Structure 1
Amino acid sequence: MAIMPTMSLGLIVGGLDLIPVPAVVVLRENGMLSFPAFNRAYRLAGLGVVADRSPLLEALGAMVHDVLDQKEARAECDWTIGEAIDCRYYRVTIARSTLTANDACVVTLIDQTSQYNTERSLRREMTTDSLTGLPNREGFSDMVEAGDAARQAVMVIDLARFGRVNACLGSLAGDELLITVARRLRGALRVNDVLARIGGNEFAILVTIEEEDGEAHDLATRVMRTLSTPFRLTDFEISVDCSIGIAFTAPDVPREELIRHAQFATKRAKSTGRIEAYQNQAFAIAREQFGMETALRRAIERRQLRLAYQPIRSLATGALCSFEALVRWTDEEGVHRMPDSFIPVAEESGLIVPLGRWAIDEAARTLAEWDRLIPGNGSRIAVNLSAIQLQRDAIAPVLQGALDRSHLTGDRFTLELTESAIVSDPDRIAGTMHALQALGATLAMDDFGTGYSNLAYLQKLPIDVLKIDRSFVTGMIADRDKIAIVRAILSLAQALGMQTTAEGIETLELAQTLAVLGCTYGQGYFYARPLEAPAALEMLAEATASAI
């Protein structure tokens, strides 16, 4: 960008008149620097009349000598003169002059004060939060990267319920809350700590550690105590909780990473309810999960997943009744990923919705293929439904679509829900369950007894089967308490007219004991591990042939 000088100094040679260009002639005689005559322009510019007292030559005299000695043909630099209030900023160029017989050079000064002040003002606006007057994310990042203290920490404070205040009381109340929070936080800080607002409901503090890391934790505790007092907004007194994460400087951690690390610790603090400090291992795990999320999304899009089928048998007769469909994934590197490792990632990222849709569709397609190859086999398949899937997707239309595409009826499906899925949104889930029941599907409560058991749900909801979790079945014979729990679940199911399925059966003795106690179905390694589709088809063919 071209810069136009706002002040022109005079170029004076010998006894000539003032030449209006932004330059100063400096002469050297007997090793001494001097100005030519008629130096009124220098005086008006604050550059002095007498050479040995001129701030220009005091600051740049060495560079002038270097140019005159031809050590450098030309030199450039930035030069500042004056105090903070009336400071002026120049871009200076020094070049030898051939207009005189003596040693002389031309010093060109371009006054950049106006441009500098404008840029500084714009920069201040860009790095300041307009509502609170605090540094914003960009301004705070600059401070963190420029920090020169031996030991510092970044603390991120996330305000809970801020969205509800905005939604219920309006944006003006939300703004008032943020301003009050900023005022309170300032009062909790020490002299060298810096407060910023880095997001809608996020504040950050650059903490200078003077003695030990515990100072940051003490400050975080003081912040939480400061914000615990209710805020008065219009006619309401509102409590605002917060989550706090801390990241400390370290030799191997770039400073620009500190804010992100502190935000990661804050995210963990939301789930633990404690002040959390960033840990490298946790961040590495998160990066691994993000990588898994990317790979899983690609696998779903490319249909690289498959279903394995674990048989479920009648404990009374041993007959094959159905299969439970279990998702299996072998990634592009040939690594077999277990559901326990990728299902939580799918739930957190929302990929559980397309994954669940694929599982229902694939199970229906498999049943249709089995019907084609083994007519009249009457097989059923159970599919697990995630709590997130139930909350975010319309399961009944998804199942109806899969049934229509495969020309099946709903009684061929069992859909397994967990207790946590039901209690997350009882009214909505109840509607979904009744819609699925209307399609003819069987509904099973999976892992019963391990979550938020509520007998009211069992009475009101259309649940057909209770599945007894493997944690109660494994080692049951040698543990009287487990036997008592299993007896109680079986008695409850019988009283409510429900069937039962025991998971984790690994021995004949366990199967026989559960049959005597009145359990309806069983599954586990005693019968078979989860089978690939061809092996499951072969087992179904044998079971169908023996039943004829």
Structure 2
Amino acid sequence: MFLSRRRKDKSDPAPALPAGEARRTVAPATLGPSHTAQVLNLLPIPAAIVERTGERFCFESVNRPFRLAGLGTTVDQSPVIVRLGDRIAEFLDSNTIEVEFDWELGDTVDARFFRVRLARRSTEKRANRCLVTLVDHTSELRTQRSLRREMLTDSLTGLPNRAGFGEDLEAEIERAGVDRFAILVINLDRFSRINACMGGLAGDELLISVARRVKGALRGHDNLARTGGDEFAIRLELDEGIQDALHVAKRIQNALTTPFRLSDFEIRVDCAIGIAIGDGEHDDAEELIRHAQFAMKRSKESGRTEVYQTRAFDVVRQEFSIETELRRAIDNGALSLNFQPICDLATGRIVSFEALARWTTEQGIALSPVEFIPVAEESGLIVPLGRWAMHEAARTVAHWDRLAGGDCGAKVAVNLSAIQLQRDQIAPMVEAALAANAVDGRKITLELTESALVTDPDRIARTMHALKDLGTTLAMDDFGTGYSNLAYLQKLPIDVLKIDRSFVSGMLADRDKVAIVRAILSLAMALGMQTTAEGIETNELAQTLAALGCNYGQGFLYSRPLDADAAYALLSERSA
């Protein structure tokens, strides 16, 4: 038989007391000092109960980790009270239950880092005692700082790297203002060649040696960094303005004058130096570094130390803007071709048109080819731009032939950039344009400059022969303004020499120009080539050139560049 036990319900009345006995109330137990110490010793981290009496502090209890951490057992010896007394007093005077903060204890070399927590029970607000606990983060912070130091340091030279240099510069600008500083950027000439010929180890050795010499040429408070493969940057504090920076740049160049010995070789190192001076308008560290790098690139072109100029930077920024918009214009078909007639000087008949690219930007600004063609060449956009021009020219001449009911009687000349000749497969591109528009190669003239022949003569020769096989006419544009190897010129299948306008304009008043034009005409005749003179603006000049034996002329005398419809109308009018 099981006995059931009824669970006591909370609503049951309290049991009655014997007669004559009063109910006693039991106060909650409180921990004495010994019990408090026992509880604190259960904590694995330094802990102490701090009590304030008047203006003085005392330890009610500290645990064993607190003593082992060297945090003291008496208030007079404890750095917790000596260093943090004001923080503890502020906490005790507040209504806050707990607060945490970081605390660094000791010298920089052997400093320790704690996360300090002050706490008390909610019933003890504004009481005069609290619990202090400390968590030691020293090893973690030292590891973090070590990793960060490695991230901001160049492993080869031990100098600050790009990120470290930028952080240091930001801190110094905030401390003293940007006007106090200049940035020098140094780039070594021909370093990639040394690396390729002698190997990476020799290149590293050279970089270390260069860093030491440059460091030796600086003042004590200047900061040197390695910001790239063969690029160094220096933060200079200016005392005498820009003269300080120029003086340091000269000392660096002098320091690098003595050759470096690597293995059995003596290596002479030249460098390009760009300088940017801080000013109130540009107080951003990264912007100051970019300005110095821009000046350094100009130094590589000029061969002398360059100081950043706002106007030059604005020009480059404008070119970058042109590049961005030009890319969109090519993708969206926003360019057009104009056509300038080329006439037979003997009869005045139009024999050809030179196709010239025209572009009106999204803002409605008409840019000259002189402005956007160099940008296209530098950015590589000349390849898609050249392909578009070739296809558009072929499409236009095919359209004119259809309007004329056969052969319109004129060719179209298309310019080929030297950069385009290097980077594109020209012959297949031209063949594709001719095929796509059903145009005979004899309707197309391809104009290239002398500079195109210098880059890779053998490859250009093969390209030109391939273009001749397509039936095209080849013309050398701006002849006389560049480098001409006459012996090589003789071997190329060139049909026409175009005499540059610089020799034609004002020729009648300049005997030297007449002599040059006469010499070019004689050379063309000896090589079996025809000639076209550019820049003809008067009938007298046209007649003189014809008398000297020039075949064709081009210039404002005949017409300015016209759109396709106006060009065909002019062709029809002259043919009639």
- CA distance, structure 1, for counterparts of residue 186 and residue 303 of structure 2: 13
- CA distance, structure 1, for counterparts of residue 105 and residue 91 of structure 2: 22
Give the aligned residue type for 1:207.
L
1:82 pairs with 2:101 = no
1:223 pairs with 2:247 = no
Cα distance, 1:171 vs structure 2:
2.0
- CA distance, structure 1, for counterparts of residue 571 and residue 62 of structure 2: 111
The number of equivalent residue pairs is 534
Map of 1:286 onto structure 2: 316
- CA distance, structure 1, for counterparts of residue 325 and residue 559 of structure 2: 30
Give the aligned residue type for 1:103.
N
- CA distance, structure 1, for counterparts of residue 305 and residue 398 of structure 2: 54
1:538 pairs with 2:566 = no
Map of 1:169 onto structure 2: 198
Map of 1:493 onto structure 2: 524
- CA distance, structure 2, for counterparts of residue 509 and residue 108 of structure 1: 102
Map of 2:425 onto structure 1: 394
Give the aligned residue type for 2:275.
I
- CA distance, structure 1, for counterparts of residue 124 and residue 481 of structure 2: 98
Give the aligned residue type for 1:135.
P
Q: CA RMSD, aligned part only?
A: 2.1
SS at match of 2:60: coil
Q: Do the aligned residues in 1 keep the contact of 2:412 with 2:444 (CA within 8 Å)?
A: yes
1:424 pairs with 2:455 = yes
Q: 2:478 aligns with which of 425, 436, 447?
A: 447
Cα distance, 1:528 vs structure 2:
0.4
Within 5 A, what are the aligned runs for 1:112-191? Answer: 112-147=137-172, 148-149=175-176, 151-191=180-220
SS at match of 1:300: helix
1:330 pairs with 2:349 = no
Q: 2:400 aligns with which of 370, 384, 396?
A: 370
1:201 pairs with 2:205 = no
Q: 1:385 aligns with which of 387, 405, 416?
A: 416
- CA distance, structure 2, for counterparts of residue 439 and residue 38 of structure 1: 98
Map of 1:470 onto structure 2: 501
Map of 1:110 onto structure 2: 135
CA deviation map 1:482-510 (0-9, x unaligned): 22222222222222222111111111111
Deviates more, 1:166-175 or 1:400-409: 166-175
- CA distance, structure 2, for counterparts of residue 182 and residue 276 of structure 1: 21
Cα distance, 1:324 vs structure 2:
0.3
Q: Do the aligned residues in 2 keep the contact of 1:422 with 1:429 (CA within 8 Å)?
A: yes
SS at match of 1:371: helix
- CA distance, structure 2, for counterparts of residue 523 and residue 99 of structure 1: 101
1:68 pairs with 2:61 = no
Map of 1:265 onto structure 2: 295
- CA distance, structure 2, for counterparts of residue 397 and residue 229 of structure 1: 52
Percent identical pairs in the alignment equals 60
Q: 1:457 aligns with which of 484, 488, 506?
A: 488
Give the aligned residue type for 2:481.
T
1:404 pairs with 2:421 = no
Unaligned residue ranges in structure 1 (runs of 5+): 1-11
Cα distance, 1:513 vs structure 2:
1.4
Unaligned residue ranges in structure 2 (runs of 5+): 1-30
- CA distance, structure 2, for counterparts of residue 208 and residue 503 of structure 1: 56
SS at match of 1:15: helix
- CA distance, structure 1, for counterparts of residue 559 and residue 286 of structure 2: 53
Q: Do the aligned residues in 2 keep the contact of 1:308 with 1:530 (CA within 8 Å)?
A: yes
Within 5 A, what are the aligned runs for 1:15-54? Answer: 15-16=34-35, 17-18=37-38, 19=40, 20-21=42-43, 22=45, 23-37=47-61, 41-54=65-78
Deviates more, 1:202-211 or 1:352-361: 202-211
Q: Do the aligned residues in 2 keep the contact of 1:511 with 1:522 (CA within 8 Å)?
A: yes
Cα distance, 1:264 vs structure 2:
1.1
Q: CA separation of 1:112/1:38 partners in 2, compared to 1, >3 Å: closer, same or farther?
A: closer
- CA distance, structure 2, for counterparts of residue 195 and residue 38 of structure 1: 50
Q: Do the aligned residues in 2 keep the contact of 1:67 with 1:96 (CA within 8 Å)?
A: no
CA deviation map 1:174-199 (0-9, x unaligned): 22222222222222222111211111
Question: Scaled by the length of structure 1, what TM-score is found?
Answer: 0.93
SS at match of 1:228: coil
- CA distance, structure 2, for counterparts of residue 472 and residue 293 of structure 1: 32
Q: CA separation of 1:423/1:214 partners in 2, compared to 1, >3 Å: closer, same or farther?
A: same
Cα distance, 1:130 vs structure 2:
1.5
Map of 1:14 onto structure 2: 33
Q: Do the aligned residues in 2 keep the contact of 1:93 with 1:107 (CA within 8 Å)?
A: yes
Q: Do the aligned residues in 2 keep the contact of 1:77 with 1:92 (CA within 8 Å)?
A: yes
- CA distance, structure 1, for counterparts of residue 259 and residue 445 of structure 2: 50
Cα distance, 1:356 vs structure 2:
0.7
Map of 1:414 onto structure 2: 445
Give the aligned residue type for 1:400.
E
Q: CA separation of 1:244/1:413 partners in 2, compared to 1, >3 Å: closer, same or farther?
A: same
- CA distance, structure 1, for counterparts of residue 310 and residue 469 of structure 2: 51
Q: Do the aligned residues in 2 keep the contact of 1:156 with 1:204 (CA within 8 Å)?
A: yes
CA deviation map 1:231-274 (0-9, x unaligned): 33333333332211111221121122121111111111111111
